[in-house]
Structure 1
């Protein structure tokens, strides 16, 4: 069961679009009842004194164990959302990224720990999102 809630402040976040043969590496976003609400690229909150690019590198290494390379400048997206009756507000730096680590593509589905909760991460075919499955944040384009 999930019970996370958005922070009641504007949060600065960096996420990375890691692709492999028509797939995107994403984490499940679940409702309190455990049902999958959608999928979100990996990343995390920018800490004071850290750039968004440094955040992304740190988060990927902590969460997956592999290093990434940033493939260009970020797109910036403002994300206002609702989760279980609570409003969240994020300023997001969205990066295209790559990795030379062969372990990345080999791990089809695995668990990471995010805010003291286990979260499933999976390679999802991009066509599932173009067919209507929810990619979060809303407004994120592939």
Structure 2
């Protein structure tokens, strides 16, 4: 299970992590804290469901929110880096998307989710299009975020 793999890696290297979640609504934090001993590496999570919290708490640029929308690469990257800054952790994941069934806008159908992972000042993000109903889109987004973080850590020599 990805949560267990990540837990082993974080503990082994004495790293801490956090989350900045929008469309996943705390699902990632819940998955992590469901593991016994997660307090050794999990600092906390910020559920930034509205743009005001993305901007005021995580430091996402209001110009980027207006120009690109909340469901975008620049916003999710800033969310991940903001979580590292606010929570004072080594790495973080961030999600922003349209879980459904409503909320679609032109060019961003239901299931569109931007996911970012950050380690120190390095951040990677990409867009996913999940084909599920709301709960499936949330689950897929959360799993994908953790896989993305694990990959980023391994790319940076954390194995």
TM-score, length-scaled by structure 2: 0.23
TM-score, length-scaled by structure 1: 0.25
Which structure carries more helix by proportion? Answer: 2
Which structure carries more strand by proportion? Answer: 1
